Amino acid sequence: MRRPNACFLGPTSRHPPPATCVAREHVAVSCRAKTERIKFSEIRKVHPMFERGFLILMTLVWLPYGAMCFIDPGLLAESSGVVATTPTATTEIRAMYGGLQAAIGALALLAAIKSHLAKSALIALAMLSGGLLTARLIGLAMDGGYTGYTGMAIGLEVFICTVSSVLLRGSREPLVA
């Protein structure tokens, strides 16, 4: 005997669909919904590899750039105009642009490998990119000096913050430390 609110799974099912079940492409989407909508909570179900792919992409963005800035701090002078004029400044560039960004990439890689760390990594990516974006926009308003580097950085930070937030919003897992 069939349950009263069971979803119809398609033409291979033995039972006709109940009136409250919405189906698409032979897969039940919602048992009680009158209209079909993809919710944030469905993103990870619709694209189970999307979260992992995003974390791998973040590894490919942050880790090599951090390594390059650590090895050659002068790289920033060419791309963004940031110049180290003292040994302390060179060390600061190696730490902030090299070490920190490489660590963000390493965190994304670790979370891509160990899925129980994904939510923590997404929180870190959303907060870090959101902080960078906010400071960059305020700094731009205060100092001016918009360049192609600034525009590219703003675009990247908006993308990272948005995708991380959407993936987090779709998560129902508790935060694991």
Predicted pLDDT of residue 26: 40
16: pLDDT strictly greater than 90:
no
The CA distance from 164 to 131, in Å, is 13
pTM listed for this prediction: 0.71
Predicted pLDDT of residue 27: 42
The separation between CA 41 and the C-alpha centre of its own chain, rounded to angstroms, equals 15
The CA distance from 58 to 141, in Å, is 28
Is the separation of the CB atoms in 94 and 149 below 8 Å?
Answer: no
pLDDT classification of 176: cutoffs 50, 70, 90 = low
More confident residue, 174 or 52: 52
End-to-end distance of the chain based on CA atoms, in angstroms?
44
Domain boundaries, the chain: 1-37, 44-169
Residues 27-86 pLDDT 10s: 444 444 445 555 555 555 545 579 999 999 999 999 999 999 999 999 999 889 999 999
List helix spans (H) across the chain.
43-46, 50-71, 75-79, 87-93, 100-113, 118-143, 148-169
Count of residues making up the chain: 177
Predicted pLDDT of residue 138: 98
* Average pLDDT of the residues in 143-161: 95
Predicted pLDDT of residue 104: 98
CA atoms within 13 A on the CB side of 118: 24
Residues 85-113 pLDDT 10s: 999 999 999 999 999 999 999 999 999 99
The CA distance from 32 to 18, in Å, is 10
Structure tokens at 17: 């669909």
